[in-house]
Each structure stands twice: as C-alpha cells, then as structure tokens.
C-alpha cells in the first residue's frame, strides 16, 4: 500500500496547501508514489482556493496551487490516510478530539519531521506579510524532505 498523507492546519488556505504541495514536489523528485491531500480543522474556507499569497509563494517555486480547494478534516480521514500531520499544536489537539477511537492513521506534528524543530508549530502566516509565507514554505519543505526520507526507508 502506498502511503497516504494528509496535512492539516486551521483554514486549509495558507499552511496545509503549501505543505501538501511541498510534499508532492519532494515525493515526485524522489520517485516515491504517495497520495497527498490537505484539510482544515475549521470550516471557514471550504470550497475556496488557497490564499493569494500562498498561491504566489508556491508559484515562485514552480508549483501551481490554483486548483486546490479548501475542505474540512473529517472522521473518515483517520482511516483513509496512513499519516496525518498537523501544522501546529492547536490543530494537533483539535484533531485528537475528532479522531475516532478506532483510527489507523499515524497522527503527529509536522515539524517533528525536522531535526531540532520537534514539538514546534508552523506559525500561522494569515495575519502576516508575504515574507511570512516564504518562511512557511521553507518550514514545510524541510518537513517534506524529512517525510520522504522516512517513507523511503
């Protein structure tokens, strides 16, 4: 079975679409077959494309996010995906609350994949500036590289 990875933030329009895109790019580069998706714990932006700042940031790295649409994480995700990564501590706690008792997905914090950043959150760039989205991109890319290494073992 190929790995199926879900990235989860609050709105699914800033951080988790970038995490999904970074993982897709790293997996493709490594020749790793994997399913990838992203979701939000909140329903504020269901059906909406990513934030324009996230779209522009990904575009700088040759990645097109325009077709992505927001959705809310749901109980079925805990069996459909082998791995679920929360972008921050608050969303990890919220996911823990909605996880069905008999779930099979491995649930963890995204930055646990980055040596030296274990336990840390990817800061929410929503209230920030365009440069904050580049910091997000760097963080999710480092995590994506760590995840591809882990899944290839």
Of 8-16, 57-65, 94-102, 142-150: span binding ligand 4NP (CB under 6 A) = 8-16
CB nearer ligand 4NP, residue 3 or residue 40 = 40
Applying CB under 6 A, does 14 fall inside the site for ligand 4NP? yes
Residue 34, number of CB atoms within 10 A of its CB: 19
Applying CB under 6 A, does 123 fall inside the site for ligand 4NP? no
Residue 1, number of CB atoms within 10 A of its CB: 5
Q: Is 111 helix (H, G, I), strand (E, B) or coil?
A: helix
Least distance between ligand 4NP and beta carbon 51 (Å): 7
Least distance between ligand 4NP and beta carbon 38 (Å): 9
Give the span between the Cα atoms of 131 and 143, in whole angstroms.
19
Lookup result for tokens 């995700």? 77
Applying CB under 6 A, does 11 fall inside the site for ligand 4NP? yes
Tell me which residues are annotated as active site.
Answer: 9, 15, 124
Applying CB under 6 A, does 55 fall inside the site for ligand 4NP? no
What CA–CA distances, in Å, run from 8 to 23, 30, 57, 126, 153?
Answer: 13, 23, 19, 15, 24
CB nearer ligand 4NP, residue 43 or residue 64 = 43
Token pair, residue 148, equals 């591809």
């Amino acid at each position: 079975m190929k790995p199926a990875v879900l990235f989860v933030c609050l709105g699914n329009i800033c951080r988790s679409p970038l995490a999904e895109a970074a993982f897709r790019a790293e997996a493709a580069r490594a020749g790793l077959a994997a399913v990838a998706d992203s979701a939000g714990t909140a329903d504020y932006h269901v059906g909406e494309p990513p934030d324009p700042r996230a779209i522009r940031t990904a575009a700088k790295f040759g990645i097109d996010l325009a077709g992505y649409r927001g959705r809310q994480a749901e109980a079925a995700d805990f069996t459909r995906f082998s791995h679920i990564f929360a972008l921050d501590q608050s969303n990890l706690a919220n996911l823990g609350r909605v996880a069905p008792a008999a779930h099979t997905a491995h649930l963890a914090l995204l930055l646990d994949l980055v040596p030296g950043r274990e336990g840390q959150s990817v800061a929410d760039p929503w209230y920030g500036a365009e440069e904050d989205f580049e910091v997000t991109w760097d963080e999710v890319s480092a995590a994506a590289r760590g995840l591809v290494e882990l899944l290839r073992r």
